[in-house]
Structure 1
Amino acid sequence: MAKRLQIIILCLLLITIVSGCSDKADTEEEETAIPVMVAKAVEGSLGGENKLIGTIEARTDVTIIPEVTGRLKEILVKEGDWVEEGTPLARLDQEIYQHQIDQASAGLLSARENTQSNIARAQTGVEQARQQYQKASEALAELQNRYDQGENVTEENIKQARDQAELAALSLQDAEKSLHAANEAGAAQVRQAQTSYELAQRDLGNTMIKAPVSGRIVSLTPSIGDMVSPQLGFGRIVDSKELDVTFSITEAQLSMVKEGQNLTVAIGSLGKEVEGKVLLVTSATNPQTRTFTVKIAITNEEDLIKPGMMAEIALEDPQELKGVVIPTEALKEEDGKKLVYVVQENRASLREVEVIDSSTLKTVVKSGVKAGELVVFRGQYELEDQALVRFQIKEGE
């Protein structure tokens, strides 16, 4: 009986042990991995918040304006041609301007001839007046000598001779004034005629439309036979070798940009980066946008960059706080502490971090996370410390 009892107790113990082992195995089998999204922590700052989008513009974009009105007779270039400053582009009908040259030339010749004639006439008048004055002066001197010698000459004779001499002197003065006036008037007439002739020559020369600057012909408006004038543009020249990128910055970003500063300009549509130099930072804000305008000069030696394209720059704030950057949504707060989950070997480790800078999307931490570690930013509220996880890395990491 006692032996049977011992066998029964031994069987019960065996059953209890086997049952316990089975429960433990079942518990281990029941732990499942929690799905989470992670992002790789990187060294840096919130500088990405200072990325700006601007527009590329040609520094030289000139409308070709004819200097004179006329009918277009010949076009010497086509759209897309590169031209140097002063290159002939088109020719207008010159007939009316040649006629003006002929008229102006005749007018100049007539002015010169009239001036010479008037001066010669005035010079003759001066010579005649001088001779009359000389005769009157000699007659007065002779009478005065005879009077002094006691000859039959009265004081009345002396007075009359003196009056004649004075009148002759006045006539000489008038003649000399007339000569001076003839010289002045003639010179003015010739100058006016000369100016008219030079203007006519200039207008004739301006019937050849020339490139005002070096650049590429991007448009030609009229056709042969059309009337063109200074009021109607003939076309446009753009020099795309020297380009400017125009950005708008806020007052807070003003300290990050200085004239002469070198900046990297990214042209997304080309997948290309070029170096640029800040040409201008306006000293006054746009009253509508309350922003400042920045112009950055870039070169376009390969002629791949086109005016109108968009460009991007990233401004670096010298006062930015640098550390390890993680997604802001990765943070959770407990008892006033900032916490994150870091995944290592498929386990989520809860760590306390020290935040030194933060924005809506990104947070910079000083300690608690190292660059390169994987930080949970989605699904963390389902976790506990050392929880088993199945993670997916954020796209682009």
Structure 2
Amino acid sequence: MKRLLLLFILLFFVTACMQEESSEETEERVTPVKVDRVENEDFVIERKIAGRAASPDSSPVMPETPGEVATLNISKGDRVEKGETIAVVRPGGNVGDQVELQEIAVRQAEKQLDNARISKEQAQLGVENAEDQVELAKQASQSEASQSAQAAEAAKQQYEQAQQIADETKKLVDEGTIPEALYTQAQNRADQAHAQYQQLQGQKSQSSSAVSQAEAQVDQAQQQLEQAQVAVEQAELQVEQANVQLNQAEEQAANEAITAPVTGEVASLSAEEGDMVTNQQPFATVVSLNPMTISASVTPEQLDLFEKGQELQVDLPALEKEAASVIDYISSVPDDTGLYPVEATVDNAEEDIKPGMMASFLLPENVVEDALIIPTDGLVEQNDETFVYKVEEEKAVRVDVEVIESQSDFSAVSGEITAEDDIITSGQLTLSDGDKVTIMKEESDEAR
């Protein structure tokens, strides 16, 4: 009996101690939690459409004339300014021989021009001489005409007198007064006088013909002068063309300074000093980094979300930032994948956006006006019910809510909460309505 009584007392004492300890634990249990404040504002749901950054301008670098790289001032990855000398190329081949040949061609053309000018001067003298001959012929014609007229008049009178005598002699012969032989002699003298008269008339025509011939020679000399003038003009043109070709040959023979076509970064470089480069294959490429182009391919359903000139934010995860962009190209024709290319321009003054970086367009798809916005982490779903815990007087108070719209970071809800309420966002999964809580300070708060 004593043993049983002792055992009963011991069990009672142990049970009492356990109940006391349990009561103390229940009274002292406080759950540490983190909170965030409810905001009352418009809730915007964004859609992300993935794309990539690309340079809008990739410019090849090559010389105008093939040759050897005498000086190279750049390396791959260097930043260059437009117009900056990045290399010097020494022309190769027989460019020196070409200069010498063109110099000979210029001298030959100048010699032909001198000859043409001499021929023109001679033709001009020929015209002047022919004109002088016309004047002389006219003067001679006038002098001969005067003398011929006098001689012809005298011959005419002699002819008329001789013919009159012959006619009178004929009458006497017919009358039988004188012999016929006398008439024959008289008529012969008349015929001789007539022949002399006609000869003098012919000399007058010959003097007029000499003037005509001299004038014809003037016309011929004028034609030769015109031909000589044309020859001079052609020779002058040949000299000009030869000088142009000489200048081109000299430019090709001179060292060529290669300049950067755009401001940007040297994306590729395939030549070193001493290497031969051509005007057919670029030896370097310079890409422009400001501005940059953001390119994406969208479905036909997404096409209506974009509009040319539209301003959109672009998410750049590699840089952990967003940037403003402007849509400047929307294709109306799908590519080989059936998607539609869309491009936007984004300022890249700091040149931290590199070609090939991932970038996403942030498209506002839906807006809930004047919404209660809480962190999505604060939502608790249990038995088809959704609720949150807000902190009131160091206790967790359960509040049922309805989710209107939700994203990974924030959600728009309706329920018995108001702006400025503190919603538990960490530690709420172990809570019950009315549990005592303590708000943990953020590291930034502790630092302050």
> What is the TM-score normalised by the length of structure 1?
0.67
The match for 1:342 is 388
Q: Return closer, same or farther for 1:120/1:319 CA change in 2, 3 Å cut-off.
A: farther
Letter in 1 for 2:137: A
Aligned counterpart, 2:340:
290
SS at match of 1:269: coil
Q: 1:194, CA displacement in angstroms?
A: 1.7
Q: Does residue 258 of structure 1 match 2:309?
A: yes
Evaluate the alpha carbon distance shift between residue 144 and residue 226 of structure 1 in structure 2; reply closer, same or farther with a 3 A threshold: same
Deviation at 1:244, TM superposition (A): 0.8
In the TM superposition, residue 348 of structure 1 has moved relative to its aligned partner by 6.6
Structure 2: distance between partners of 1:366 and 1:344: 14
8 Å CA contact retained: 1:89, 1:210:
yes
Asked whether the equivalents of residues 42 and 370 of structure 2 are also in contact (C-alpha less than 8 Å), the reply is yes
1:67 alignment partner in structure 2: 64
Distance change >3 Å, CA 310–CA 131, structure 1 → 2 = same
TM-fit CA distance, 1:87: 1.0
45, 51, 56: which is aligned to 2:53?
A: 56
Deviation readout 1:105-128 (Å, 9 max, x if unpaired): 221122112112122223312321
1:314 to 335, 356, 362: 362
1:281 equivalent to 2:328? Answer: yes
Matched, 1:246 2:294: yes
**Deviation of residue 182 (structure 1)?**
0.9
Please report how far the alpha carbon of residue 180 of structure 1 lies from its aligned counterpart in structure 2 after TM superposition. Answer: 2.3
Q: Secondary structure at the match of 2:258?
A: strand
Matching of residues 170-185 of structure 1 within 5 Å: 170-185=219-234
For residues 203-248 of structure 1, give each alpha carbon's deviation from its aligned partner in whole angstroms, at most 9, with x where no partner exists. 22364434334444343212444332111211122344x2314143
- Greater helix content: 2
Q: 1:309 to 1:348 in 2, by over 3 A?
A: same
Q: Which residue of 2 aligns with 1:132?
A: 130
- Structure (1 or 2) with the larger CA radius of gyration: 2
Q: What residue identity is the alignment partner of 1:258?
A: G
Distance 1:367 1:176, change over 3 A: farther
Q: Residue 49 of structure 1 aligns to a residue in which SS?
A: strand
Cα distance in 2 for residues equivalent to 1:86 and 1:102: 32
Partner of 2:113: 115
Take 2:416 and 2:132, find their aligned partners in 1: how far apart are those partners?
A: 121
The whole-number CA distance in structure 2 between the counterparts of 1:93 and 1:229 is 10
Q: C-alpha distance in 1, partners of 2:415/2:222?
A: 107
Letter in 2 for 1:253: L
CA RMSD of aligned residues (A): 4.8
Q: Is the 8 A contact 1:324 1:365 kept in 2?
A: yes
**Bigger mean CA deviation after superposition, 169-178 or 286-295:** 286-295
- Within 5 Å, which residues of 2 pair with 1:318-329? 321=369, 323-325=371-373
Q: CA deviation at 1:267?
A: 3.7
Contiguous gaps of at least 5 residues in structure 2? 1-25, 27-34, 151-199, 438-448
- Choose the corresponding residue for 1:164, options 213, 228, 231: 213
Give the number of equivalent residue pairs. Answer: 349
Name the CA shift for 1:252/1:184 in 2 (closer, same or farther; >3 Å): same
Q: Distance in 2 between matches of 1:159 and 1:328?
A: 128
* Residue correspondence of structure 1 range 76-95 to structure 2 within 5 A: 76-79=72-75, 80-84=77-81, 85-93=83-91
Contact 1:64/1:212, CA 8 A, preserved across alignment: yes
1:65: how far off? 1.1
What is the aligned partner in structure 1 of residue 155 from structure 2?
none
Query: Counterpart of 1:104 in 2: which secondary structure?
Result: helix
User: Does the aligned pair in 1 maintain the 2:144–2:207 contact within 8 Å?
Assistant: no
Q: How many Å separate the matches in 2 of 1:316 and 1:159?
A: 108
Correspondent of 1:299 among 349, 356, 367: 349
CA contact (8 A) 1:55 1:311 kept: yes
- Judge conservation of contact 1:126–1:179 (CA < 8 Å) in 2: no
CA contact (8 A) 2:52 2:357 kept: yes
Cα separation, 2, equivalents of 1:221 and 1:199? 28
Partners of 2:53 and 2:354 within 8 A in 1? yes
TM-score, structure 2 as length reference: 0.61
Task: Tell me what 1:106 maps to.
Answer: 104
- The amino acid across from 1:282 in the alignment is Y
Is 1:237 aligned to residue 237 of structure 2? no
Write the letter of the residue equivalent to 1:200.
A
